[in-house]
Structure formats: structure tokens, C-alpha cells
Chain A
Amino acid sequence: MSQVSELGASMPRLEASAKATGVARYTADLAFPNMLHGAVLMSTSAHARIKSYDVSAARALPGVRAVMTGADIPRKRFGLMIADETALAIDKVRYIGEPVAAVAAIDRETALAAAELIQVEYEDLPGVFTPDEAMMPDAAIVHETFAAYPKNFDCIADGNAISIAQVLSGDPDEAWAEADVVVEGVYETQAQYHAYMEPVAAVADVDGLGRVTVWSSTQSVFRTQICIAEALDLPRAKVRSISPYVGGGFGGKSEPGVQIIAALLARETGRAVKVVLSRQEDMMMMRSRHPARIHLKTGARRDGTILVRTGSVVMDGGAYADDSPAAMHMVLHFLRGPYRVPHLRFDGRVLYTNKLRAAAFRGVGNAQATFACESQIDELARKLSLDPIDLRLRNVLQQGDSWLGKHPIGSASIGECLQRVRSESNWDARRAALAEAPTSKSGKRRGLGVSSVVYTCAYLSTSAIVRLLDDGTVTIATGAVDIGQGSDTAIAQMCAAALRLPVDSVNIVQADTDATPFNSGTNASRITYMLGQVIAQATDDIVSQLFPHAAELLECSVEDVELVPGGRVAIKGVKERFVSFADCSRRAHFKAGGPIIGRGSYVFRVEEPDTELTINKGMMSLAAIGTYVFGAQVVETEVDEVTGKVEVVEAWSAHDVGRAVNRQAVEGQIEGGLVQGIGFALMEELVWSDGQLTNPSFMDYKIPCSLDAPENIHAIVIENPEPTHPFGVKGIGEPPVIGIAPAVGNAVEHAVNVRVRQLPITSERVLRCLLDRGS
């Protein structure tokens, strides 16, 4: 094992070898004595009242142990922001694929066969399949009892709206008069499937005390615990939630998958029950990124100074709210981009439709906003005949500037990020050369495009407990789930660095609501930032307990000792006069004071926006949203003028990460995010026809694979230590995905002079634009 204890050093992920060799155990690998297997019956109707069930044939099938429908479960609703969901449909179904009934049987085949035998009588209702249909005055209402649902923010809504909100700063109506140029456009983004490698899965068991334990593929053991407890009407203490290895989440596993269904079946049968969805079921039942239509208008002076921006966004939330309000509020929050925009107004609305629910997805809301914002900045540059990077640099936020309502932005390094991609990509010379190059003999042209990226990291609260074991190694419990992004390694590295221990002296406790303290979840690029905060506190706590032992043993005063590398405490300046952590810890364990335990607790909080400056209407609180992270991305694309197909041939992605905890892991995040961004930009889209998903398989729904990724991805790591953080780190989980789609759109325009305002930028869309453009 590596002896690295330096922060910033590259080291392989702790679990890399276990995952690569197949030793790592995921939820689907778990087995218990007498375990049953579950299957879920999905709704075949997009919107219908449930008239009756007939489960007799299913119950009679040999091997079946339980059949449950909405009639057999507590009528308790749960949900992150609006409690509108039940684990199985009750009274109504609202999308094709919604869980209607569940079966537990001696094997999966039998459970599936039994599910097929369940008869559900539906009375079909008219469906609403697009936000436009949902907004019609006579539209069918997806949730008639919306007003009665508990909500955790100041929700404004009517009809099928889940949330209606506005952000207003300055006086946009007046400001237009001063604008020399105005650009305006409508930008559309699509439903993207999370496409984590591991479909959702859960195993639930009950013990003799009625306690439910659930192992599952989740981004938050605590959210899972809360949802199960709420749905089953149990106190938190009766629900234990654990996560084994998780095969990706990207936001899709923040809220429950099949955990509640597994728990219901386990309670019903008194046996362990495993539910693992197939890829098709996962695609039909779970979540997507929110489709959005953004109308955006920007006014600027002739020299490129942006004066005013207004816009409105309509988003498709699908059948259940999940975190739709937050996603829409994030669009409003980020639509200004990392620029000085003195006057702005953004209106937003997210609606229920009879489709798969939309939810958080890497860069939630921001990816949609950035596509509109950064496409339009290029359109402005074109209109003003300015270089796109020059125009951005003229307007970027500067040190000391703030976000809406005086939100502090930390190190305002957006300008630096843009300069770095400009120099590393050789932007000026390359762009000029590409523009002058003739179309290749086979009909291909290349272009270069850029996008700014701004996001936040941190969010909500977290905690850690570090225990010093009697041999001087440590065990750290944080409740953070490593979903594949590498947080366990980062935690170990930060903890090791703080205590000057080798990384392999740090043992990490698997996320478990019984064994690890609260962490709200692996999302919002928050884990490394938030964990760093509590690791610093907890290790300081350890040190403050350790030093008195060391001082006693070294017969000196506490002020005269210091940590030295390798798990030692020495007399300041005399490193050969030391005692080991083991010496101190054994003393604590067996002689004086008792075992050493360090603790850390942290909640991210800044001031609420200053309402003198910015009025937020109908929005959730943004005081916990975190600190700002800046980046810039450049892509070179090749457009095939014969077919319209676009390929990304090279990419540069610069991100101010504050400080890299593990450089190689940061580069991995940048590369992975960028490729996922290429999928969003060029090919990924869930498509429905009358509420029926038409492409629920990887045969039909394409994600980029290694051959679709550019050979050269230049991950550029910029380090301006974050002043609010003990290790100086910021989160980098989401930013790399965000700027790719607009950068690709901008590069396409540079290459072939057409502007595609709708994602994905498919070959068909490009070819149609090319034909409209003429040659």
C-alpha cells in the first residue's frame, strides 16, 4: 500500500484493484439465508385511476411469498421538497413504468412471472406529456391534492406547476434602452438518463425487534433512511441504511430507488428480500435530467459590456417533484453566468407531466442554464465581431464581486481559467487556422468553441468521528458514500495529511446510519469540501487530546510538542525526541483519560440574499448552496457536412479546484465529466411517444464509449486555495460536465456557420441547419 501522506499527490483509488478484479461487492452481490427476490410491476398506463387489483393468480403461483399493491402499504407520502410520492402507486398512476405492485418469491424468475399475473384495472385519464400541454387551461391535473402535500420551501404553484419562481436584480426594463445590441434566442435541452453502470438495487431485512435494515445502491444512506422511515411510518431509529460499493449515481440515486419496496416486502414476509432492476426497468422507472426550454435575451454596449439579461425557463418535472423545484431554482440562479450583469430578471416554472420523474443530474439546472447562457454569449460575440474569449474576459466577475444578493464568490478565478484554456489550446492561432482551412476532401470542417463554467460546492451539513486505535492507526466514520467518484481516497488522504500519517493507517467505515454520523449525501460537488471541514475539526480534536499524553510521556509541557510525520509526536525542533501515536493511544486506552475520539460537525451557511439587491420569489433558500467554483472549457469539433455528424476531436478543461487532494483523481473527474458532457451535447436523449419511453436500452439509447471520446483530453488543474477551507479544496464533481454542450455548439458554429439551439446536437439537426444555410 502507498505510503503517501502528502495532500495533492497522485495515488490510485483505494478500491481500484478490488473493483477492477471483481472482488468489490455491490448490492446485487449480497446474499442472506432464505433470501427472497423481488420484482416490480410497472404501470402500463401514463395517467389513470386504479379501479381494482386482482392478485389471486400471482399469489397462487408456486414459490411466491408476498404480493403487495398500493392497497397494502401505508398511505404516507415522501419526497425531498414536496411529499408527493408513494413507493407503490395509490389510487392513481402517473407515468408508464411507475411501480404499481411488488412480488417477493423464491427467485427472480418466479417473482417476474408472478408480477405478470397481477391484473390491474385502470380507468384511463387524459395525459399531459409536455410542459406546454401541462400549462393549457383545460389540462388534466397530475396531482389533484398538490395543495395538501407538505413542502419544505416557500412554494408558489398553480395548476400543474410544481414551482414558479423569479429572480430580479436591478432594473432590467429600464436597462434595455442603453443597450446597443440585443441577442435573443430559445435554447432547449433534453432528458438525459443517468446511465450509472449499476442499476438501482436494494436488499432489505427485518430483525426480531421490527427493525428494518436496508443495503442499497444510494448516494445517501441518510436520505434513504429518512424516506424509508417516512414511507413506512417508522421512527428513524427503527431503520438502518447501509451502502456497499456503489456503481455510480450522477444524482440519480440521491432519492430512493427500490429500497422502500424491498423494505415493504421484507416486512411482509419476515425474510430478507433483494430487488435489483434490469436496465430497462431502471430506465423506465427511475429518473432523468430535466428537459428545459429557456428563452434568453441579453443586451450589451457596442464594446461588449453586458448590461442586462432577462429570461424565462419552462422545465419538465415528470410525474413526481423529487428535487424539481431546486433544479429550476438553480437554472434561475446560474442563468447570469460568471459575468457582471447589473440588471436581470429570470422567471421559471417547472411542471408535472405524465412521464418519468426528472431529478438532479450532475450539474443540476446549471447544465441547462449554461447551455443557454454560453451559447448566447457566443452569439453576442458574433454580432459584435469580438473574439468569444475576449468578450467573456471583458465581463467576468472580479475578485470582490458577489453573486446575486451579495453572495460571496470566494476566489473569482474565472478570468484565469479562460486565460489558461486560451493558452493551452493555442486558441488564437488554432481558431484562425481552422477558419481558413479548406473543407477536407471528404467534406469535413473543424471549429473551436469555448464555454465558461461556474458552479458551487459544499451544501447542507456533515459530520465525522475519528477514533485513534490503540496501535496508533485511525478509523474515520463520516457517513459519506463513495459512489465511484473517489471520496474514500480523498477522505483518507485528508485525514492522513492532517495527522501526518501514511494513508494506509486510515481505515474508513462504510456508510451506515448506525455506525457513521450524519452526512446529507453525495451530491452538489460537496463531499471533498464538506468532509475536509469536519476532518480538520476532528483531527484537531484528536491532536488536542493526544498532546497531553505525549507531553506526559516526554516529560515536557504541552506547548512544546508537535506532530511529525509517521504517527509521532516530538519535542518541537527535536524530532528524535518523540513518542508514537501508539504509545499515546495505549496510555489513553489503558492508563489515563480513556480512548481518544475526535469529532467534527459543520453546516454550510452564508447570509440569505440581500433583498435590497436581489429579489428571489418562490425560491428555496440559497444560503446553504456553497462556495463558487470556476472553470473554462474548449473543444475542437469536426463537422461532417455530408451527414451532419459532429465529433469532438480534442478538449481542454481548466478548473480551479482550490487545491487538488489527489491530482490523478481530479483529472479522472475532469475526463469522465467531459465525456458525459459529450453524451449530453451530441447523442443522449430519452424519447417518449404518448408517454411511452421508446428507447429504454443501451441498444437504442447511446452513451459515448471510449471510441467516441477525444483521444486528447487536457485536464488543467488550477489551484487557488479556497479561503473558507482548512485544506483549501473545492469540489470538482460536476463542473466538467457543464460547459461541454455549449462549447460544442459554439465550435460547430465556428466550423460550419450554423447555430444549433437544441440538444442533443444530432447529425440530423445539424444537417437540416446546413441545408437551410445553403452552401
Chain B
Amino acid sequence: MAEPVEFYEPRTIAEAVAVLASVPDACCLAGGQTLVAGMNMGPLFRPPALVSLQRIDELKGITQRPDGTVVVGAMVTHRTVAQSELFGGGLEVVREAAGCIAHPAIRTMGTIGGSICHADPAADYPAVLIATDATVVVTGPSGIREIPAAEFFVDFMTTSIEPDELVTAITFPPAPADAVSVYEKFTRASGDFATVSVALALSLRHGRCESVRIALGSCGPTPVRAAAAEQRLVQTSLDESDVQDAGRILCDAAAPMDDVRGTADYKLMLIPRLLGRTIQRAQERAVAWRVE
């Protein structure tokens, strides 16, 4: 017989933290789309205790602060993000990424908190959090911590939260009014994880790049960002040679691996090519936005 799994259903963040702190090896259960699939692989992948976050209403909403910051509760599903009106311009990349995670059934269950805590480098949210300069809000026995995304993803499937901590929200700072953003995901087949993905946030003035943030998914143990690549683009008109140079710098920073989705070589070939496409789409968006 399978070992029974203890099951907790706290109603508040505080209760959840208390359970995590007191029950050894207890594990949060969010949408279950990663965790339960893993548990089905066998007893080895079954935590002794699950703390379901389903009933904690505090974790469920998307709100906008007066300064424009968008706060997304950890238990907000991919589907809800994909349909939210609060992600436009510089944050459109968030909505776009959520809309291309897996298939509808998984988007209806899976959550942003679960996705980033799993920290799969092939997932869609991690690069987006980096490109949008988001912050992860965490609660533990000693209180609340705010962790910049760049410090949250520390290694392959590893984050900087402690076992007794809980991600409660992700905050996306407001982007400049003229910013546009794009998520470009390349997959072998629909619904697959990315072979390579590019998250881009860009401000243009008269066709020149004012500021840009680029993060790559599936190109290393954590999302890849290269300040030098961004600097190479700033104050240029994003000509082919600018983009090629930036792509080359990103390739140097990337460390993709051979896997079923493509060889490392192919992923390196894709990086500058997808970057070009992403920038082109961002430029088109900027034009369309101005016309509107």
C-alpha cells in the first residue's frame, strides 16, 4: 500500500507558515501540475505532507497599486494572468507568457507561485520576471522578505527561499509609459516547454532604443541576462548589426544543454535569430500602440 500523505488546508498565510515550520518535509501544493505529476512517478517523489494553498484567499488576486505596480498573488492561475487587463505595454510580456504555457487544462490549474518555485529553467515565467525586474514576496516564520527576481533563481530548479517560507506574491514594477514588451517562445510542438524563449521589455523614442531588458529561457540553469547585450542596443536604432552583436553577447552568456528539445548548438543558433524576431515584434507593437 502507498504511504499515506498528510494533508493540510490552511486558510491564512500565517497558518500555512506555521504548518511548514512545524511539519518536517512538508511541501506546498499549489496547482499540482508539476508536483502531482511528479508524485505519480513513484513513492520517491512523494512528500510526507502537503500544505494545500487552495483555500488561502489572500494568495489569489491580481491588484494594481496607485504607482502602477501590479501585484499578483502566488495562487493566481496562468489562465487568469493570460486574461488579465492589467498587463499592457511594458508588462504585456507577462500576459503573453502566461497564455502560452502548456495547454488550457494546465493553465486552468497551474499557478505563478508554483511555476517560479519549481524554477524549471525551461518554464516561461522565470525569464519574464527577470525581464520585467519583478520582485518575489516571501513570508516565513521571521516575517516578510522581498527578493529581486535576479536573486530568486539561484540554480537549476533551485530558488533562494527556505523550506519554511512561502511565496505569497510577485510584484511587477510599472514600466515607462512608452514601453512595449514581447514574449517569444519557440517550441517543437504546441504546448511543449520552450526550446528557447526570449522575454523583452523595450522603450523606444523616435525609433531609438531608450532602455531594454532581455532575458532568455531554456538557455542555462537560470534565466540568462547580459547587461552588455542590453548596453549594445541602448541608443541605437536597433539595426541588424546592433541586434546581431547583442545576440552574440547573449550567446556568450548562455549555457544551453543538449536535450530532447534541441542540441545546445541549435539553441545558440536560435538565440540571435529569435532576438531579432522579438525586437521586430516589439517595434511593430510600438508603432501600433502609437497609432492607437
* Interchain CA distance A747-B236 in the complex, whole Å: 39
A643 with B186, Cβ < 8 A, contacts A110-B1, A764-B266 known: yes
A683 near B188 with CB under 8 A, answer yes
B269 near A642 with CB under 8 A, answer no
B61 on the interface (CB 8 Å rule)? Answer: no
**Shortest Cβ distance from residue A469 to the other chain B in the assembled complex, whole angstroms:** 45
A642 with B260, Cβ < 8 A, contacts A705-B191, A767-B269 known: no
Q: In the complex, what residue of chain B is closest to A704 when comparing beta carbons? A: B189
* Interchain CA distance A703-B189 in the complex, whole Å: 8
> Which of B17-25, B62-70, B149-157, B274-282 sits within the interface?
B274-282
* Interchain CA distance A107-B262 in the complex, whole Å: 39
Q: In the complex, what residue of chain B is closest to A108 when comparing beta carbons? A: B2
Q: 1/0 per residue B17-43: CB within 8 Å of A?
A: 000000000000000000000000011
* Interchain CA distance A390-B276 in the complex, whole Å: 41
* Interchain CA distance A687-B261 in the complex, whole Å: 12
B269 near A707 with CB under 8 A, answer no
A694 on the interface (CB 8 Å rule)? Answer: yes
A700 with B190, Cβ < 8 A, contacts A107-B1, A113-B43 known: no
A109 near B1 with CB under 8 A, answer yes
* Interchain CA distance A762-B260 in the complex, whole Å: 12
B192 on the interface (CB 8 Å rule)? Answer: yes
A767 near B274 with CB under 8 A, answer no
Q: 1/0 per residue A99-117: CB within 8 Å of B?
A: 0000000010110110000
**Shortest Cβ distance from residue B143 to the other chain A in the assembled complex, whole angstroms:** 38
A110: chain B residues at CB < 8 Å are 1
B260 near A643 with CB under 8 A, answer no
A694 with B277, Cβ < 8 A, contacts A683-B188, A702-B188, A702-B192 known: no
A610 on the interface (CB 8 Å rule)? Answer: no
B269: chain A residues at CB < 8 Å are 767, 771
A763 on the interface (CB 8 Å rule)? Answer: yes
* Interchain CA distance A112-B191 in the complex, whole Å: 31
- Interface size of B by CB at 8 A reads 23
A269: chain B residues at CB < 8 Å are none
**Shortest Cβ distance from residue A685 to the other chain B in the assembled complex, whole angstroms:** 9
A705 near B189 with CB under 8 A, answer yes
Which residue, of A683, A699, A764, A767, has the highest number of chain B Cβ atoms within 10 A?
A: A764
A723 on the interface (CB 8 Å rule)? Answer: no
Q: 1/0 per residue A39-73: CB within 8 Å of B?
A: 00000000000000000000000010000000000
Q: In the complex, what residue of chain B is closest to A685 when comparing beta carbons? A: B260
B277 near A442 with CB under 8 A, answer yes
A645 with B186, Cβ < 8 A, contacts A700-B260, A702-B192 known: yes
B1 near A63 with CB under 8 A, answer yes
Of residues 686 through 731 on chain A, the ones whose CB sits less than 8 Å from some CB of chain B are 687, 694-695, 699-705, 707-708
* Interchain CA distance A110-B3 in the complex, whole Å: 10
B2 near A109 with CB under 8 A, answer yes
B263: chain A residues at CB < 8 Å are 764
Q: In the complex, what residue of chain A is closest to B261 when comparing beta carbons? A: A700
Q: In the complex, what residue of chain A is closest to B284 when comparing beta carbons? A: A441
Q: Is the interface of A mostly helix, strand, loop or mixed?
A: loop
How many A-B contacts if CB must be within 8 Å? 52
**Shortest Cβ distance from residue B260 to the other chain A in the assembled complex, whole angstroms:** 4
* Interchain CA distance A695-B188 in the complex, whole Å: 14
- Identify which of A109, A701, A707 contacts B43 (C-beta below 8 A): A109
A643 with B190, Cβ < 8 A, contacts A63-B1, A110-B1 known: no
B273 near A643 with CB under 8 A, answer yes
A764: chain B residues at CB < 8 Å are 262-263, 266
- Identify which of B190, B192, B193, B276 contacts A642 (C-beta below 8 A): B276
A565 on the interface (CB 8 Å rule)? Answer: no
A705: chain B residues at CB < 8 Å are 103, 189-191
B277 near A707 with CB under 8 A, answer no
A702: chain B residues at CB < 8 Å are 188-189, 192
* Interchain CA distance A110-B2 in the complex, whole Å: 8
Of residues 223 through 265 on chain B, the ones whose CB sits less than 8 Å from some CB of chain A are 260, 262-263
B1 near A442 with CB under 8 A, answer no
**Shortest Cβ distance from residue B104 to the other chain A in the assembled complex, whole angstroms:** 10
**Shortest Cβ distance from residue B244 to the other chain A in the assembled complex, whole angstroms:** 13
A703: chain B residues at CB < 8 Å are 189
B270 on the interface (CB 8 Å rule)? Answer: yes
Q: In the complex, what residue of chain A is closest to B270 when comparing beta carbons? A: A643
* Interchain CA distance A701-B192 in the complex, whole Å: 10
Q: 1/0 per residue B84-112: CB within 8 Å of A?
A: 00000000000000000001000000000
B191 near A707 with CB under 8 A, answer yes
Q: In the complex, what residue of chain A is closest to B41 when comparing beta carbons? A: A280
A763 near B189 with CB under 8 A, answer no
**Shortest Cβ distance from residue A99 to the other chain B in the assembled complex, whole angstroms:** 18
A210 on the interface (CB 8 Å rule)? Answer: no
A442 near B43 with CB under 8 A, answer no
A700: chain B residues at CB < 8 Å are 260
A150 on the interface (CB 8 Å rule)? Answer: no
A708 with B190, Cβ < 8 A, contacts A642-B273, A642-B276 known: yes
**Shortest Cβ distance from residue A325 to the other chain B in the assembled complex, whole angstroms:** 31
* Interchain CA distance A771-B270 in the complex, whole Å: 12
A707: chain B residues at CB < 8 Å are 190-191
* Interchain CA distance A103-B270 in the complex, whole Å: 48
Q: In the complex, what residue of chain A is closest to B3 when comparing beta carbons? A: A109
Q: 1/0 per residue B175-196: CB within 8 Å of A?
A: 0000000000010111111000
* Interchain CA distance A112-B42 in the complex, whole Å: 9
**Shortest Cβ distance from residue A39 to the other chain B in the assembled complex, whole angstroms:** 11
* Interchain CA distance A703-B192 in the complex, whole Å: 10
B262: chain A residues at CB < 8 Å are 763-764
Q: In the complex, what residue of chain B is closest to A709 when comparing beta carbons? A: B190
A643 with B191, Cβ < 8 A, contacts A764-B262, A767-B266 known: no
A443 on the interface (CB 8 Å rule)? Answer: yes
A643 with B274, Cβ < 8 A, contacts A109-B43, A687-B260, A764-B262 known: yes
* Interchain CA distance A745-B260 in the complex, whole Å: 22
B260: chain A residues at CB < 8 Å are 687, 694-695, 700-701
Q: 1/0 per residue A112-154: CB within 8 Å of B?
A: 1100000000000000000000000000000000000000000
A699: chain B residues at CB < 8 Å are 193
B193: chain A residues at CB < 8 Å are 699
Q: In the complex, what residue of chain B is closest to A767 when comparing beta carbons? A: B269
A112: chain B residues at CB < 8 Å are 42
A442 with B190, Cβ < 8 A, contacts A109-B43, A687-B260, A695-B260 known: no
Q: 1/0 per residue A416-449: CB within 8 Å of B?
A: 0000000000000000000000000011000000
B188 near A762 with CB under 8 A, answer yes
B1: chain A residues at CB < 8 Å are 63, 107, 109-110
B188: chain A residues at CB < 8 Å are 683, 702, 762-763
**Shortest Cβ distance from residue B210 to the other chain A in the assembled complex, whole angstroms:** 24
A443: chain B residues at CB < 8 Å are 277
**Shortest Cβ distance from residue B148 to the other chain A in the assembled complex, whole angstroms:** 31
B274: chain A residues at CB < 8 Å are 642-643
**Shortest Cβ distance from residue B251 to the other chain A in the assembled complex, whole angstroms:** 15
* Interchain CA distance A704-B103 in the complex, whole Å: 13
* Interchain CA distance A742-B176 in the complex, whole Å: 51
28 contacts between A and B (CB under 8 A): A63-B1, A107-B1, A109-B1, A109-B43, A110-B1, A112-B42, A442-B280, A642-B273, A642-B274, A642-B276, A642-B277, A643-B270, A645-B186, A683-B188, A683-B189, A695-B260, A699-B193, A700-B260, A702-B188, A702-B189, A702-B192, A705-B103, A705-B189, A705-B190, A707-B190, A707-B191, A708-B189, A763-B266
Beyond the given A701-B260, A703-B189, please list 5 additional residue pairs across the A-B interface where CB-CB is below 8 A.
Answer: A63-B1, A642-B276, A708-B190, A763-B266, A764-B266
Q: Which 9 A-B pairs have the closest CB atoms?
A: A707-B190, A702-B189, A764-B266, A700-B260, A109-B2, A695-B260, A642-B273, A708-B190, A683-B189
